């Protein structure tokens, strides 16, 4: 299931935020971004960026999806991580539960090895948070999707009254 909008409970917000802050600090990265598979920005931590972060999130999601298709072509189920190295800046992307993607932006002040190590821990933490959030949202949707019989009967009667000649 892809979320078209994110409703994040306070405890989940803080759990995600704490995981991102811990990753940012422990990996000596510049920025960490959490996006969903449609490119929606879920959370972000780190220095203020100088680019359009919403466009960046969309492109990261598209990058991950393109690499998913490449993986399928060569017989892999998917690629759980992606790495892009630039001359000054690099980015590391890791797959989390339910198609959520963690993006880490870093420069020469840290190493790929340290980023990979810290991302692994963060993904484990965020997997639990995201999975729990999806369970809460599914329960919440079920709760709102069901109406008792009397409400349904009254609503139908009201609609019928609206269209009476």
Q: Confidence band (pLDDT; 50, 70, 90) for 2?
A: very low
Q: Confidence band (pLDDT; 50, 70, 90) for 165?
A: low
pLDDT score at 143? 43
Residue 72 belongs to domain with CATH number: 3.30.450.30
**Domain residue limits at 118:** 17-146
163 inside domain: no
Q: SS3 string of the chain?
A: CCCCCCCCCHHHHHHHHHHHHHHHHHHCCCEEEEECCCCCEEEEEECCCCCCHHHHHHHHHHHHHHHHHHHHHCCCCCCCEEEEECCCEEEEEEECHHHCEEEEEEECCCCHHHHHHHHHHHHHHHHHHHHHHHHHHHHHHHHHHCCCHHHHHHHHHHHHHHCCC
Q: Confidence band (pLDDT; 50, 70, 90) for 9?
A: confident
Indicate if the pLDDT at residue 134 is higher than 80: yes
Indicate if the pLDDT at residue 144 is higher than 50: no
156 inside domain: no
**Mean pLDDT value of segment 127-156:** 69
Task: Report the number of distinct structural domains present in the chain.
Answer: 1
124 inside domain: yes
Per mean pLDDT, which range of 61-65, 131-135, 142-146, 150-154 is the poorest? 142-146
11 inside domain: no
161 inside domain: no
151 inside domain: no
Indicate if the pLDDT at residue 14 is higher than 60: yes
157 inside domain: no
| Structure-model confidence comparison of residues 119 and 98, the more confident one | 119
């Amino acid at each position: 299931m892809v979320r078209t909008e994110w409703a994040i409970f306070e405890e989940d917000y803080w759990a995600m935020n704490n995981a991102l802050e811990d990753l940012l600090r422990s990996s000596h990265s510049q920025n960490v971004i959490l996006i969903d598979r449609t490119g929606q920005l879920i959370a972000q931590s780190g220095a203020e960026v100088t680019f359009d972060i919403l466009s960046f999130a969309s492109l990261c999601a598209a990058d991950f999806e393109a690499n998913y298709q490449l993986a399928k072509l060569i017989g892999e189920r998917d690629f759980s991580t992606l790495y892009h190295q630039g001359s000054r800046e690099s980015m590391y992307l890791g797959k989390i539960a339910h198609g959520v993607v963690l993006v880490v932006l870093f420069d020469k002040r840290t190493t790929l090895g340290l980023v990979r190590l810290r991302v692994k821990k963060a993904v484990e933490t965020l997997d639990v948070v995201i999975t729990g959030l999806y369970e809460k949202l599914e329960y919440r949707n079920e709760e709102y999707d069901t109406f008792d019989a009397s409400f349904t009967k009254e609503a139908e009667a009201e609609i019928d009254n609206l269209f009476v000649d």
